[in-house]
Chain A
Amino acid sequence: RKEVEQDPGPFNVPEGATVAFNCTYSNSASQSFFWYRQDCRKEPKLLMSVYSSGNEDGRFTAQLNRASQYISLLIRDSKLSDSATYLCVVNRYNFNKFYFGSGTKLNVKP
């Protein structure tokens, strides 16, 4: 079983829509969680860390559900510039490895 699983999409949404992605992780010992954004043919860049209490950064909200072992990312008022692939990443504190999902592709259309 993969460490991290994501729906590859694509999610095709109109500008202004709200869209949500989920990501599941298999190891309950995972302790830090992130969402990265990757534009076509570019390197991944950190979008936001995911904290146990949930966190918000502008139009983006991340949630963690430890009981069900999933992480979510909610994007409100989608912009054309949000079109990208969103990668879910988990890390266990006592291991020096990060595990990446294969990404969810978002297309925001005019």
Chain B
Amino acid sequence: NAGVTQTPKFQVLKTGQSMTLQCAQDMNHEYMSWYRQDPGMGLRLIHYSVGAGITDQGEVPNGYNVSRSTTEDFPLRLLSAAPSQTSVYFCASTSGRQGTVREQYFGPGTRLTVT
């Protein structure tokens, strides 16, 4: 199994550009999520999904959109990139169901710089 894959690994954008970060998992997990990690801030939840067709906002959703058309894929779209979105982005896939102990598996991350 590949686990959680993310593309691209690195990206440089100019302010105002849009792009999509890709995330896929092959573990048949219902729950997936996107985080950003900034120095000294820990991981902050952007959006999450509890299954195909269902998404919800996390702690810092502004400037980002998500969709979940299949169980496997959970892309994150930056609508109009801003320098404040310079960060490392991690996608995670979570085992188990609500009401049980759940473990998260992370992708390798995308390092995004917005100039």
A93: B residues at CB distance < 8 A: 98-100
Q: How many residues does chain A have at the interface if contact means C-beta atoms less than 8 Å apart? A: 23
Q: Mark interface residues in A82-99 (1 if CB within 8 Å of B CB, else 0).
A: 000001010101101110
- Taking the closest CB of chain A, its distance from the CB of B24, in whole angstroms, is 15
- Taking the closest CB of chain B, its distance from the CB of A62, in whole angstroms, is 13
CA distance A98 to B102 in the complex (A): 10
* B53-92 contacts to A (CB < 8 Å): 56, 58, 90
A49 lies within 8 A of chain B by Cβ: yes
Contact among B43, B94, B109 for A100, CB-based, below 8 A: B43
| Residues of B near any A CB (own CB < 8 A) | 31, 33, 35, 40-45, 48, 50, 56, 58, 90, 94, 98-109
